[in-house]
C-alpha cells in the first residue's frame, strides 16, 4: 500500500516516481506531465487471491492493495464463509472460519469518489491443514540500491502457511515478517549477492520431519549508493527476464479477472506499458506491470500483446496471449498432448499442473507415455514414460506431493505393478520411480487415500482375456514405509466390483465404495450395494443405496460428510439419470432429483460453490458418445430442490476423457474418444469458461 500511495501522491503533484515489481530496487525517473482530472481506483488485488483456510484456526489478515484513486468503502458478494468478515472501511478479510466449504469465488468491490474497482477472491475452507507445497515469491532474484526503499516482496503460497522463517539474516535495513513472509524496508549498506532460505510452516510447531513445510531460495544483492562527486557512476542494471504468471489466458466477458502478476529479474523498472491496447476493460498497471480489470468485449480468438518494462538501466519485454469469450463458452486450448488418449489417469498436481498418463490410442492397446498440462501456458509437455503401458490405470496424489500410479491392463494382461511420479524432478525422463507391486491386479478398480495417508486399492477386473473375472481383493499402500513405500493385503470386499469409485469421506476416515459391476450367479451386472471401510480398517460393511443398481457412474464429495452419485449404467443395461445422496454422519442413502440427461462414463468436476459440471460420456445404449453437458446444482439446505440444467455442448464428442477444475475456476476437459462422427481418439483439450 505504501508504494501505491507514493505513486498516487507524486502523480498528483506532477512528478513521476519510479517503482519496481519483481526485481531490483526502485530508482528516480524523469518528471512527467501534471495529472489533470479525477483518477478512478484500479488494479485491486489481495495479498492472497486464492487462500485455503482451516476451520477453527484464525486466518492472517488478507489485505487489499490498489493503484489510482481512493477507495472509501468495500463490499463482497456472496457472503464470506461463516466466521470470516470483510472490513467495509479497509477491505481487510479476517476472522476464524467455522465450517469447511468448497472453493468459491467472492467478488470484492471497492468504491471511491471517482469510480469503482473489483477483485476476485477464491476461498477454500478445509477441515484440516493443507500442507504447503510452494511459496512462490514475487521476486526470486533481486538487486536493491542502498538507502532506497524497496518494493515489498511477498509470497503467494500453495497450501496453508501459518509461520515463516528466513536464514541467514537479511542485509541491514531490510525486515522480514514471520507472520506474512514479506520482505520490506530500506537497505543501509551494500552487500554481494547471497542466497537466503525462506521456510513456510504449515503447522504452528511444524518441522521438516512431518512434511508440513515449503522452502524457497531467494537471491538478494545490494548495490553501493552513488556518492557525488564520483567521476563515473556505475551503470544501473537493466531489468531482465520479464514474464507473467499466465503467458496465455482466457477470460469471461463481464467477469473480473484474477490479477495476472508480472515478474522480472535484474535492475529496477520505472514503468510498464503494453505496446498495443489490451482488450477493453483490461489494463497494465504502470507501476507494477500487473494486468487486471473486467473485460468488456469478446475477442473470439487469441490475441498477442507485447508488454515492455523500462528502467534506468534499460528495458525488457515479453508477450502475453489473451482470449475473451462469452460466459458459458467451450474454447480450445492452444496445445495438444503428445498422443491421443482414452481411459487414462488424470491427477492435479500441487502447483496447478495436470498429469495425464497411460490410456489407449489407435493401434496402441496400452500407452506408457505421460503429459503435463500447464494452465499458465495452455500447453502440454512430455512427462517421461512409465515402466509399462497401462490402460484403465489407477492414480492418486499422495500427501508428500508425489503421484501413485498402479494396476491397469497392459499388453500382456492385468497388472500388479505400481510406480511413482515426482513432479519436482528436474528431468521428466527421471520423474518416474519404481514402487513395489501389489498383491493383486486391479483393472478399472477403485482408489482412495485414507486419513492416515495410506492408500486403498480395491476391486476391478483380473481376467487375462475373455469373460470378466472381478476381484474382491483389497491392497493397502503405505507411502512412508521403505524408500518407495510398501503394500499389504487389506480386508476383502463382501462383493467384488469394478467400474466403481472410492470416496474418502470424513477426510478419509471412511472409504465408501458405491455400487459398480458385480459377478453373480445370474451373470455380470450392476449392483445397488455400497460397501464401507472405516477405522480401524478391519472389514467392509454393506449398505443399500436408494436408487437401485448402477455402474460406470460419476461421484462428487460435496463436503467431508456428503457425497452424490450420478447416473451410470442401470440393470437394464441402459444409462440412468438418477442421483443418490450419501450422509456419512447418519450413514444413510437418499434419492435427490436426477440429471437432465441419462449418461454413463461421464466426466465430472466441481464448479463454484455447490455446483458440478457433467460432460460427455455415453448415452442411448451407454456406448454412444455425446458432446452434451449440464450443470448440476446441489442444495444442501433442501436437497429436494437440487437440479440439473443443460448448457452448451462441448466442441467434440468425448467418452473416456478426463475433466479438472483449474485454479481460476475454468474447467479443463482432456482427450477421450469420438465413436460417433469422427471415429477417433483425441489428443486435444478444451476449456469451459463459466
Residues 6+ apart with CB under 8 A from 139: 22, 23, 151, 153, 218, 263
Closest CA to 223 of 267, 173, 271, 184: 267
Number of domains in the chain: 2
- For residue 480, report the phi and psi dihedrals to the nearest 5 degrees: -95, 5
Residue 286 lies in domain: 239-327
Residues 129 and 190 in one domain: yes
Looking at residue 7, what is its pLDDT?
A: 31
pLDDT of 208 > 70? The answer is: no
Q: Which residues are within 8 A (CB) of 371 and not within 5 positions of it... i.e. 6 or more apart? A: 337, 338, 355, 356, 357, 380, 381, 382, 383
**501 domain residue, yes or no:** no
Q: Of the ranges 161-165, 269-273, 613-617, which one carries the lowest mean pLDDT score?
A: 161-165
657 part of a folded domain: no
Asked whether the beta carbons of 485 and 446 are under 8 A apart, the reply is no
In this structure, are 111 and 247 located in the same domain?
no
C-alpha separations of 254 from 294, 321, 323, 327, 690 in Å: 6, 19, 13, 8, 11
Same domain for 42 and 94, yes or no, is yes
Query: Where among 327, 354, 380 does a domain terminate?
Result: 327
Mean pLDDT of 445-451: 97
CB 264, CB 22: distance < 8 Å:
yes
pLDDT of residue 282: 97
> Which pLDDT value is given to residue 324?
98
Pair 291, 217 in one domain: no
Which is nearest to 379 in space by CA: 688, 689, 683, 50? Answer: 683
Alpha-carbon dihedral sign for residues 605, 611, 613, 614: positive
Q: Are residues 159 and 305 in the same domain?
A: no
Confidence class of residue 203 from pLDDT cuts 50, 70 and 90?
A: low
Whether 253 maps to a domain, the answer reads yes
Please identify, among 223, 254, 287, the residue that sits at the C-terminal boundary of a domain.
223
Confidence of residue 60 (pLDDT cuts 50, 70, 90): confident
Q: pLDDT tier at 269 (50, 70, 90 boundaries)?
A: very high
**In this predicted model, which residue has the larger pLDDT, 137 or 638?**
638
Using the predicted structure, report yes or no on whether residue 605 has a pLDDT greater than 80: yes
Secondary structure in 3-state letters for 487-528: EEEECCCCCCEECCCCEEEHHHCEEEEECCEEEECCEEEEEC
Q: Does the pLDDT at position 206 exceed 60?
A: no
Instruction: In whole angstroms, give the CA distance from residue 266 to residue 462.
Output: 58
Q: Note the pLDDT of residue 427.
A: 86
* Tens-place pLDDT, residues 452-486: 999 999 999 999 887 889 999 999 999 999 889 99
User: Is 171 found in the same domain as 59?
Assistant: yes
Residue with cell 443405496: 545
Min mean pLDDT across 24-38, 157-171, 361-375, 389-403 is at: 24-38
In the structure grid, which three cell numbers stand for residue 655, read together?
467418452
What secondary structure does DSSP assign to 56-120, as a single string?
TSPPPPB-EEEEES---EEEEESPPSTTEEE-TTT--EEE---S-EEEEEEEEEEEETTEEEEEE
Q: Is 127 exposed, middle or buried (0-12, 13-18, 19+ CB in 10 A)?
A: middle
In a domain, 208, yes or no: yes
**Strand blocks (E) in 386-473:** 394-397, 403-406, 409-410, 413-414, 418-421, 432-435, 446-449, 455-458
Residues 407-444: tens digit of each pLDDT:
999 999 999 999 999 999 988 778 999 999 999 999 99
| pTM for the model | 0.80
Tell which residue, 218, 213, 211, has the closest CA to residue 193. 218
Instruction: Convert the pLDDT of each residue in 590-599 to its tens digit.
Output: 999 999 999 9
When pLDDT is cut at 50, 70 and 90, the band that residue 522 belongs to is low
Beta strands in 634-684 (DSSP E): 643-647, 658-661, 667-670, 673-674, 680-681
280 and 208 both lie in a single domain: no
Same domain membership, residue 206 and residue 72: yes
2 pLDDT more than 60: no
CATH number of the domain within which 251 lies: 2.60.40.10
Q: Is residue 311 part of a domain?
A: yes
**Which of 32-41, 119-128, 606-615, 631-640 is the least confident region?**
32-41
User: What is the average pLDDT across 278-300?
Assistant: 96
Q: Given CA atoms 141, 143, 146, 147 in this order, what sign does their dihedral have?
A: negative
Q: What is the pLDDT of residue 430?
A: 87
- Residue 630 is assigned to a structural domain of this protein: no
Asked whether the predicted pLDDT for residue 23 surpasses 50, the reply is no
* Averaged pLDDT for residues 141-147: 92
For residue 37, what pLDDT is reported? 52
- If one counts every other C-beta atom within 10 angstroms of the C-beta of residue 163, the result is 17
Interval 77-101: pLDDT, tens: 999 999 999 999 999 999 999 998 8
Residue 232: exposure state from Cβ atoms within 10 A (0-12, 13-18, ≥19)? exposed
Question: Rg for the chain (alpha carbons), in Å?
Answer: 27
Is residue 468 domain-resident? Answer: no
Residue 285 has pLDDT above 80, yes or no: yes
Report phi then psi at 65, rounded to 5: -135, 150
Q: What is the pLDDT, as a whole number, of residue 163?
A: 84
The verdict on residue 96 lying in a domain is yes
User: Roughly how many angstroms between the first and final C-alpha of the chain, as a whole number?
Assistant: 32
Is the pLDDT confidence value at 155 over 80? Answer: yes
Among 270-284, 323-337, 359-373, 508-522, the least confident range:
508-522
Average pLDDT, the chain: 90
Mean pLDDT of 11-25: 34
pLDDT score at 225: 61
* Per-residue confidence band for 210, with pLDDT thresholds at 50, 70 and 90: very low
Q: What percentage of the chain exceeds 70 in pLDDT?
A: 92
Judgement on whether residues 177 and 279 belong to the same structural domain of the protein: no
Do 192 and 101 lie in a common domain?
A: yes
pLDDT > 60? residue 144: yes
* Residue 17 clears pLDDT 80, i.e. is over it: no
On whether both 214 and 316 belong to a single domain, the answer is no
Q: Please tell me whether residues 256 and 216 are part of one structural domain.
A: no
Q: Out of 327, 351, 380, pick the residue that ends a domain.
A: 327
Amino acid at each position: 500500500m505504501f508504494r501505491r500511495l507514493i505513486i498516487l501522491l507524486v502523480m498528483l503533484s506532477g512528478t513521476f516516481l519510479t517503482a519496481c515489481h519483481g526485481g531490483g530496487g526502485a530508482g528516480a525517473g524523469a518528471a512527467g506531465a501534471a495529472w489533470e482530472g479525477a483518477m478512478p481506483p484500479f488494479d485491486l488485488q489481495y495479498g492472497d487471491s486464492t487462500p485455503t483456510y482451516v476451520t477453527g484456526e484464525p486466518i492472517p489478515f488478507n489485505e487489499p492493495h490498489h493503484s489510482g484513486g481512493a477507495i472509501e468503502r468495500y463490499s463482497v458478494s456472496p457472503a464470506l464463509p461463516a466466521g470470516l468478515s470483510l472490513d467495509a472501511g479497509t477491505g481487510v478479510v479476517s476472522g476464524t472460519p467455522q465450517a469447511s466449504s468448497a472453493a468459491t469465488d467472492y467478488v470484492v468491490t471497492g468504491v471511491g469518489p471517482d469510480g469503482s474497482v473489483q477483485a476476485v477472491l477464491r476461498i477454500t475452507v478445509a477441515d484440516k491443514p493443507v500442507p504447503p507445497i510452494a511459496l512462490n515469491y514475487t521476486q526470486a532474484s533481486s538487486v536493491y540500491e542502498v538507502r532506497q526503499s524497496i518494493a515489498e516482496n511477498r509470497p503467494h503460497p500453495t497450501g496453508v502457511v501459518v509461520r515463516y522463517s528466513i536464514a541467514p539474516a537479511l542485509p541491514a535495513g531490510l525486515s522480514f515478517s514471520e507472520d506474512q513472509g514479506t520482505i520490506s524496508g530500506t537497505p543501509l549498506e551494500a552487500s554481494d549477492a547471497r542466497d537466503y532460505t525462506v521456510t513456510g510452516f504449515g503447522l504452528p510447531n511444524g518441522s521438516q520431519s512431518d512434511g508440513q513445510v515449503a522452502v524457497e531460495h531467494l537471491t538478494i544483492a545490494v548495490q553501493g549508493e552513488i556518492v557525488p562527486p564520483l567521476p563515473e557512476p556505475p551503470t544501473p542494471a537493466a531489468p531482465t527476464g520479464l514474464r507473467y504468471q499466465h503467458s496465455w489466458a482466457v477470460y469471461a466477458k463481464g467477469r473480473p479477472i484474477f490479477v495476472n502478476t508480472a515478474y522480472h529479474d535484474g535492475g529496477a523498472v520505472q514503468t510498464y506499458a503494453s505496446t498495443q491496447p489490451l482488450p477493453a476493460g483490461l489494463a497494465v498497471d504502470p507501476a507494477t506491470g500487473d494486468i487486471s480489470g473486467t473485460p468488456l468485449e469478446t475477442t473470439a480468438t487469441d490475441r498477442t500483446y507485447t508488454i515492455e518494462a523500462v528502467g534506468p538501466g534499460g528495458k525488457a519485454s515479453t508477450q502475453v496471449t489473451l482470449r475473451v469469450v462469452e460466459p458459458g463458452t467451450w474454447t480450445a486450448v492452444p496445445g495438444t498432448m503428445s498422443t491421443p488418449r482414452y481411459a487414462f489417469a488424470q491427477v492435479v498436481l500441487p502447483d496447478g499442473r495436470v498429469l495425464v498418463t497411460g490410456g489407449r490410442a489407435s493401434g496402441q492397446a496400452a500407452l506408457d507415455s505421460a503429459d503435463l498440462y500447464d494452465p499458465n501456458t495452455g500447453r502440454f509437455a512430455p512427462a517421461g514414460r512409465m515402466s509399462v503401458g497401462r490402460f484403465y490405470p489407477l492414480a492418486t496424489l499422495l500427501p508428500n506431493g508425489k503421484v501413485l500410479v498402479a494396476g491397469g491392463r497392459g499388453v500382456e494382461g492385468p497388472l500388479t505393478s505400481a510406480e511413482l511420479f515426482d513432479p519436482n524432478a528436474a528431468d521428466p525422463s527421471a520423474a518416474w520411480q519404481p514402487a513395489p507391486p501389489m498383491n493383486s491386479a486391479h483393472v478399472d478398480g477403485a482408489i482412495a487415500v485414507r486419513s492416515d495417508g495410506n492408500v486403498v486399492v480395491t476391486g476391478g477386473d483380473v481376467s487375462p482375456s475373455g469373460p470378466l473375472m472381478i476381484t474382491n481383493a483389497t491392497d493397502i499402500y503405505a507411502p512412508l514405509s521403505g524408500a518407495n513405500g510398501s503394500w499389504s493385503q487389506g480386508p476383502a470386499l463382501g462383493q467384488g466390483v469394478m467400474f466403481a469409485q472410492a470416496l474418502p469421506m470424513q477426510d478419509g476416515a471412511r472409504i465408501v465404495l458405491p455400487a459398480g459391476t458385480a459377478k453373480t450367479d445370474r451373470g455380470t451386472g450392476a449392483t445397488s450395494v455400497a460397501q464401507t471401510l472405516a477405522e480401524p480398517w478391519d472389514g467392509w460393511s454393506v449398505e443399500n443405496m436408494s436408487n437401485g443398481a448402477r455402474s460406470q457412474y460419476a461421484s462428487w464429495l460435496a463436503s467431508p460428510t456428503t457425497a452424490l452419485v450420478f447416473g451410470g449404467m442401470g440393470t437394464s443395461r441402459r444409462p440412468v439419470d438418477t442421483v443418490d445422496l450419501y450422509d456419512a454422519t447418519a450413514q444413510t442413502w437418499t434419492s435427490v432429483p436426477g440429471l437432465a440427461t441419462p449418461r454413463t462414463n461421464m466426466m465430472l468436476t466441481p464448479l463454484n460453490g455447490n455446483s458440478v459440471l457433467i460432460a460427455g460420456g455415453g448415452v442411448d445404449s451407454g456406448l454412444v458418445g455425446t458432446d452434451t453437458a449440464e450443470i448440476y446444482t446441489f442444495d444442501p439446505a433442501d436437497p429436494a430442490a437440487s437440479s440439473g440444467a443443460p448448457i452448451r455442448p462441448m466442441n467434440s464428442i468425448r467418452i473416456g476423457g478426463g475433466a479438472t477444475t483449474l485454479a481460476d475456476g475454468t474447467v479443463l476437459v482432456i482427450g477421450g474418444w469420438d465413436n460417433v462422427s469422427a471415429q477417433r481418439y483425441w489428443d486435444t483439450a478444451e476449456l469451459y469458461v463459466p
